[in-house]
Chain A
Amino acid sequence: MDNEDIEIKVLLEAVRLKYGYDFTQYASASVSRRVKKALSESGLEKISEMIPRIIYDRKFFNSFVRNLSINVTEMFRDPLFYCELRERVIPYLQTFPHIKIWSAGVSSGEEVYSLAILLKEEGLYDRSMVYATDFNDIVLESAEKGIYPADNIQKSTKNYQKAGGRESFGKYYHADYGSAIFDRSLKKNIVFANHNLVTDSGFGEMNLILCRNVMIYFNLELQNHVFQLFDSSLCNNGFLCLGSKETIDLSVIADAYMPVSKKHRIYQKKIHRQGGTLKNAE
């Protein structure tokens, strides 16, 4: 093991012991890139020099953990995914009087607002409860605000149209000093809550779980842990949506799910299960 690897390992262990955030099962290459980015912002020379700062300086830690947890996304990322969601999942959900949806790892929040817009346009919003979770309170706070740089709006509008949007995108935000502030009514049925996929257990039976481009940051064991968490949080026939390069196929729950859209990584939980064991599923 080279010195840098040792330093990163000790640093992540310090973060885990001090704050309970566990990055030790993250895919190492991107963690190591992010740790080095935090290092270059800190002005310190060695990764290990960040350890005392992390332990004793909460402010420093906050910016460090932000570096480790922000996933860069956009409104209606992968527009065709949202088309599939509209066409293949929404009609099924429309048969329920109440719908519970979990958007896990919301990061800066673009995905959950995209989802809220889609639910509104499909007439489902008022009977939906959307749980938007992230392990990082600072990130959650900013997601809850729903304010994004106006520079991104052109791309968002394009994505929205490609995603089968039925309205004018401008209806959902107002521009203010270089920012786009998303409409408050989109937040009415969204609960922003702290939840850590690595360490916390599930909550309630969901009809739909979205967790896109989060698990690519995890190693295989942690991915399996989270897949099991999702499996236990989904009702029968519930839907699980992953990022366009993520797959359930290699996971321990693969047999219990069938693809609704293979290309856009939408999976549905099968009903037939005996004694809760996964291998009995057809």
Chain B
Amino acid sequence: MRNDFQAIVMGVSAGGFNALHTMLPLFPRDFPLPIIIVQHRISENNTFLEESLNRVCQLTVKESNEKETINPGIIYIAPGGYHLLVEKDLTFSLSVDEPVCYSRPSIDVLFETASLAFGPRLIGVILTGANDDGSEGIKKIKSKGGLTIAQDPESAEVEIMPRSAIETKTVDFILPLEEIPSFILTVLEDS
């Protein structure tokens, strides 16, 4: 398999707090890619999720700022109340465009713009959640030649979101939550 990936995008909704706390600590300190995450949340201006994840992760977890350059080895989380977009110069921008799938931030918006910026060098991951946000995005990533992963619905706290992604028939791998980090590491090490 190819190993020229430049970024990972993840989308997660209901059940995400536990899922992220289980999975993200499994990425090693020297993990070479940025991980960009949309977790649906209410639009309150707080950083509780980032702080809590930072206590358990080996990688730095931070909220993504507008115009910030995307750096490897950082876990970025979309701020509540804003869409997070990836620009082609590999910086972030934010928008208050209307919600997509009732969500702002929307997973589709992140995935679509990231697939335009990173092309085939993008890995998209859909985790637990109770709506179908991210399914359009997964299709876009696949259409640009990227790699797509869904959490095994059996292992998901809420199975609707990964199941909806899988139903698009554009998901390459279906994996239990805990195995996603080691799988990605294997992909990156393959030459």
Where the two chains meet, the residues of A that have a C-beta atom closer than 8 Å to any C-beta of B are 5, 27-30, 32-34, 71-73, 78, 80, 213, 216-217, 220, 243-247, 250, 263
Contact = CB atoms under 8 A, between A and B. Distances in A.
B113 A29 contact: yes
B82 to A, nearest CB: 6
B26 interface: no
A220 B95 CA distance: 15
B97 interface: yes
Interface of B: 45, 65-67, 79, 81-83, 85-88, 93-99, 109, 112-113, 116-117
A216 B96 contact: yes
Contact of A29 (B45, B81, B85): B85
Going nearest first, the 8 A-B pairs with the smallest beta carbon separation are A29-B85, A27-B93, A72-B98, A29-B113, A30-B95, A213-B96, A216-B94, A29-B87
A30 B97 contact: yes
A28 B87 contact: yes
A217 B85 CA distance: 11
A220 B67 contact: yes
A161 to B, nearest CB: 15
Q: Secondary structure of the A side of the interface? A: loop
Nearest to B68: A250
Nearest to A213: B96
A72 B116 contact: no
A216 B66 contact: yes
Given A27-B85, A29-B88, A73-B96, 18 more contacts: A27-B87, A27-B93, A29-B93, A29-B113, A29-B117, A30-B85, A30-B95, A33-B97, A33-B113, A78-B81, A213-B96, A216-B95, A217-B95, A243-B96, A244-B81, A245-B66, A245-B94, A246-B66
Nearest to B117: A29
Given A245-B65, A245-B66, A263-B45, A29 B86 contact: yes
A29 B86 CA distance: 7
Contacts of B66: 216, 245-246
B82 A245 contact: yes
A220 to B, nearest CB: 6
A246 B113 CA distance: 20
A220 B109 CA distance: 22
Contacts of A73: 96
Contacts of B85: 27, 29-30, 33
Residue from B96, B97, B98 having most chain A Cβ neighbours under 10 A: B96
A34 B95 CA distance: 11
B67 A250 contact: yes
Residue from A27, A29, A213, A250 having most chain B Cβ neighbours under 10 A: A29
Nearest to B93: A27
Nearest to B83: A30
Contacts of A27: 85, 87, 93, 95
A73 B85 CA distance: 18
A30 B93 contact: yes
B109 A33 contact: yes
